[in-house]
Amino acid sequence: MRTWVLLRGLIREQRHWGGFPEQMQAALPEDRIVTVDLPGNGSLCQTPSPTRIEDMVAALRKSLSDQDLRPPFHVVALSLGAMTTISWINDYPGEVAAAALINSSVARFSPFWQRLRPANYRSIVMDGLLARSLIQKERAILAMTTNLTDTQTQEDLAVEWAEFARQNPVSRANSLRQLLAAARFHAPIRLAGSAPVLIVNGAGDRLVDPRCSAAMARGWGLPIRVHPTAGHDLTLDAGEWAAEVLQQWVRSA
């Protein structure tokens, strides 16, 4: 039985996957789907976030081991989670059997203004890091990361996610530490080992330029699947599509 580990991105926790784990389970009924929080987020919100991606990998490996989960793992990772997975693949060959990297970027292949689009800088600071209202913060995040959800769905999600933030608050310090880890991460020239890796991208990503995913695919010679309209939170915008892509890919790979 394959074990899939699902990793979210910057200041997000495992509950932000929404219905995607269930969609993925329906597509791969014989597999096990596991969601994990990175330090500083979700159930680990009181833990200082590492400022190095390599230390996030160490924390992730310990978390899985503490749950009696053993490699090799199949991984689905979004944004910062994908950077963590890249480091995991390279530093511990054989522990990752396959990985799908969603809407991520690395400095080796893309400039900083593509990795985090300048149009979002003000909103990230004023409506995100400095926001006093949790609902205002979540509305801003959804506005930057989703395309296909209607206005009422976005508002319902903002209310739900604001409750997540109340229960498991991500501190401003941990938010900045995660941003620093992402900014300073230097990806390898080539990926170690022979595990199949798939790049998945939403062509409507307004947070991270879609060219970043294309550059990773070119730089490492990897296959890429692109949803024509989904935003940064691709599994929220197009979860069934993503689950079907993973089903087809893992069976062919």
Q: What is the pLDDT along the chain (253 residues), one digit of tens a residue?
A: 899 999 999 999 999 999 999 999 999 999 999 999 999 999 999 999 999 999 999 999 999 999 999 999 999 999 999 999 999 999 998 999 999 999 999 989 988 888 877 776 666 665 666 677 899 999 999 999 999 778 899 999 999 999 999 999 999 999 999 999 998 998 999 998 889 999 999 999 999 999 999 999 999 999 999 999 999 999 999 999 999 999 999 988 7
Q: How many domains does the chain have?
A: 1
* Residue 110: predicted pLDDT: 87
Asked if the structure places residue 58 within a domain, the reply is: yes
Asked if the structure places residue 159 within a domain, the reply is: no
| Residue 252 CB neighbours (<10 A) | 8
What's the Cα-to-Cα distance from 100 to each of 82, 141, 253, rounded to whole Å?
A: 8, 23, 12
Asked if the structure places residue 41 within a domain, the reply is: yes
Residue 237 DSSP SS3:
helix
| DSSP letters spanning 85-116 | HHHHHHHSTTSEEEEEEES---TTTS-HHHHS
Residues 28/247, Cβ–Cβ less than 8 Å: yes
* Residue 126: predicted pLDDT: 59
pTM above 0.75, yes or no: yes
Task: Return the CATH number at 184.
Answer: 3.40.50.1820
* Residue 193: predicted pLDDT: 83
* Residue 187: predicted pLDDT: 92
Residues 28/4, Cβ–Cβ less than 8 Å: yes
Asked if the structure places residue 156 within a domain, the reply is: no
Asked if the structure places residue 163 within a domain, the reply is: no
Helices (H), the chain: 20-27, 53-66, 80-91, 112-115, 121-122, 134-145, 151-167, 172-184, 211-220, 234-237, 239-252
What's the Cα-to-Cα distance from 75 to each of 4, 86, 143, 184, 237, rounded to whole Å?
A: 5, 10, 27, 23, 20
* Residue 120: predicted pLDDT: 64
Asked if the structure places residue 215 within a domain, the reply is: yes
- Give the closest residue to 74 by CA, choosing from 87, 89, 57: 89
Asked if the structure places residue 78 within a domain, the reply is: yes
* Residue 111: predicted pLDDT: 85
* Residue 127: predicted pLDDT: 60
* Residue 124: predicted pLDDT: 66
Asked if the structure places residue 201 within a domain, the reply is: yes
Q: How far apart are CA 109 and CA 214, in angstroms?
A: 9
* Residue 34: predicted pLDDT: 98
Structural domain boundaries, residue 32: 3-115+169-252
